[in-house]
């Protein structure tokens, strides 16, 4: 019988609870615990081992796989870099209640939540989150460290840059491009391209702020 992959989960908030639930159902994964800068005790029956300073100790003890269970894209980027520098490899958390086309291409450290749909030839970058009931249609390209919140709908051939946050219920028509680290407010409907580093809201989505 093959041994399970021992995984530490970095984070212990609400997002981590969903990740724990998904990984618990994976027969190849053994969750050894979570880390968090402040919390102590347990989360979803998984022990909180301490803060992130113990990651090096865990790695040296033979626990060399991790999942960054943080919803904020910038924080997830920082912690991913820290864990990768130590040497951790990232596992995927893919719900058995999601649909993932066999021709899709998935990075590492990604979360695909229950009810999510990933259609043919879609590409999901490292560290991205496809949240509950979000839909990514054919030939979409989602960059690394993105977060498609619950109920997001992407039509075919949409290109999403690194670090983009798509708020709950965002809808994007086919062929649109959304620039890196932009934010779409909940319920936004994207019918024109969105540049890098923008906040856009409304129906149709309009840019209300842009930063360097």
Is residue 89 among the annotated active site residues?
no
- 115 near 135, Cβ under 8 Å? no
Catalytic entry in 15, 65, 89, 138: 138
Give DSSP secondary structure letters for 167-211.
Answer: -TT-EE-TT-EE-TT-EE-TT-EE-S-B-SSEEEETTTTEEEEE-
Q: How many CA atoms lie within 13 A of 39 on its CB side?
A: 17
Cα–Cα distance measured from residue 55 to residue 32, given in angstroms and rounded to the nearest whole number: 12
* Structure token digits, residue 162: 């690194």
Catalytic annotation, residues: 138
């Amino acid at each position: 019988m093959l041994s399970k992959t021992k995984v530490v989960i970095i984070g212990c908030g609400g997002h981590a609870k969903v990740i724990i639930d998904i990984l618990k159902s994976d027969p190849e994964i053994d969750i050894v615990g979570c880390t968090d800068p402040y919390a102590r005790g347990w989360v979803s029956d998984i022990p909180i081992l301490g803060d992130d300073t113990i990651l090096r100790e865990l790695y040296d003890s033979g626990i060399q796989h991790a999942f960054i269970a943080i919803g904020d894209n910038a924080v997830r980027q920082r912690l991913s870099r820290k864990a990768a520098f130590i040497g951790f490899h990232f596992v995927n958390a893919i719900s058995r209640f999601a649909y993932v086309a066999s021709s899709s291409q998935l990075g590492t450290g990604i979360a695909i939540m229950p009810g999510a749909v990933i259609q043919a030839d879609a590409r999901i970058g490292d560290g991205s989150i496809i949240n509950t009931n979000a839909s990514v249609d054919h030939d979409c390209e989602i960059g690394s460290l993105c977060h498609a919140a619950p109920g997001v709908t992407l039509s075919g051939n949409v290109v999403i840059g690194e670090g983009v946050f798509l708020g709950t219920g965002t809808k994007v028509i086919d062929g649109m491009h959304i620039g890196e680290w932009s934010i779409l407010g909940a319920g936004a409907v994207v019918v024109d391209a969105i540049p890098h580093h923008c906040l856009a809201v409304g129906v149709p989505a309009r840019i209300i702020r842009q930063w360097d």
